Each structure stands twice: as structure tokens, then as C-alpha cells.
Amino acid sequence: MHEGKEMSEEEEKQELYQKQMEELRKKQLLRSILDSNAYERLQNIKAANEDYYEKISQLLIYLYESKQVTGKITEEFLLKILNKIQENRKEGSITFRRK
């Protein structure tokens, strides 16, 4: 019974290690495809909103790997992408009804 618990802890360590390696790979790839200003802006997004950062970074990696983007992604291009995403997000509205 004790061995099963150790296996579980070992599996947790392995999973954590794999997540860390994947995050490191993603960070290195983003550093290589973004210029320094764009990378810094992306890190600011990460600090403000982790989920939004994940979506943006996955999109940037997809654009790079599918060869839709060649060369370094500039901050201006990143801002265009962010603006497009903002346009596509539906803003919720609150309406007040008076009786």
C-alpha cells in the first residue's frame, strides 16, 4: 500500500517536470520568434491575465509553426493581433429595466 503512494508522488513529480519543460520550451520559442519589445509586452500580459497570455502565446506559436509569420514578430504586429482579438470579444452589457 505504501508503494502505491510513492508511485503517485513519483508520477506527480514527473508530471510537474513535464509541465516545467513544456513551459520552458514555450518560453524559448516565444523569445526566438518575438522581438524584445513584443516579448516584454507579452510578459506584461502574462502578469495581468494568465489565461489571456496562454491564448495569445498559443496563437503566436501556431502562426509561427504554420509558417504564416516569417521573421521576428514585432510589437506593432502583436498589437494588431491583440486589437483583432479585442474586436472579436463580445463585450457584455448590463441593462437596467425600471418598473
73/83 Cα distance (integer angstroms): 15
Domain that holds residue 10: 2-86
> Among residues 47, 41, 87, 49, which one has the least CA distance to residue 60?
41
Q: What is the CATH number of the domain that holds 77?
A: 1.10.8.140
Number of domains in the chain: 1
Residues 73-97: what's their mean pLDDT?
81
Residue 93 lies in a domain: no
Residue 91 lies in a domain: no
Cell 472579436, residue located: 88
Residue 99 lies in a domain: no
Give 10-66 pLDDT, tens digit per residue.
899 999 999 999 989 999 999 999 999 999 999 999 999 999 999 999 999 999 999
